[in-house]
Amino acid sequence: MAAIARHIRRNDSVLVIAGKDKGKRGRVLRMDAKKNGAYVEGVNMIKRHTKPNPQKQVKGGIVEKEAAVAVSNLMVLCKECDKPSRVGYAIKRTGVKTANEVDVRISALACWRAVRRGRVCRVGSGR
């Protein structure tokens, strides 16, 4: 079984950086370890032809739903400033591994953002 990329998790806001839906933004609905992909709300929509199933209260017809997008084609968005970010990892002296986000447009030293774990984005504050 393939390992899931750690830089993207469920309920993260992401930007699609490659593929037919390039430039679209959405929320990650779920992760798929086998496909090494993520299901993003409103991205990579497919049409599924379904048979009616009265036992499950499913109507027949053509249903539109999300398909998996490769995690390499996704980039996390900062919750504070809504810009795409790279995720960097740091190991503290205590041995705990933490995930921080680095702004793509600014150097790594200038802007470390930790969207997860409730840290404040420091893009606007003086360096």
- Identify whether residues 22 and 65 lie together within a single domain: yes
- Identify whether residues 89 and 71 lie together within a single domain: no
Last residue of a domain, one of 59, 77, 95: 77
- Identify whether residues 64 and 92 lie together within a single domain: no
Ordered per-residue pLDDT tens for the chain, 127 residues: 556 657 788 998 999 999 999 999 999 999 998 888 999 999 999 999 999 999 999 899 999 999 999 999 999 888 777 888 887 767 777 877 776 665 454 433 333 444 444 444 544 433 2
Residue 51, domain CATH: 2.30.30.30
What is residue 100's predicted lDDT score, i.e. its pLDDT? Answer: 65
What is the per-residue DSSP string for 42-67? TSSEEEEEE--BGGGTB--EEEEEE-
How many domains in the chain? 2
Give Cα separations from 80 to 41, 72, 124 (angstroms): 20, 23, 10
- Identify whether residues 5 and 65 lie together within a single domain: yes
- Identify whether residues 126 and 116 lie together within a single domain: yes
- Identify whether residues 18 and 5 lie together within a single domain: yes
Rounded distance between C-alpha atoms, residue 123 and residue 71, angstroms: 25
Nearest alpha carbon to residue 47 among 66, 28, 70, 27: 66
- Identify whether residues 1 and 61 lie together within a single domain: yes
Which residues constitute the domain of residue 116?
79-127
| Paired tokens of 15 | 């930007």
- Identify whether residues 15 and 72 lie together within a single domain: yes
- Identify whether residues 83 and 73 lie together within a single domain: no
- Identify whether residues 106 and 48 lie together within a single domain: no
pTM, 2 dp: 0.69
- Identify whether residues 13 and 26 lie together within a single domain: yes
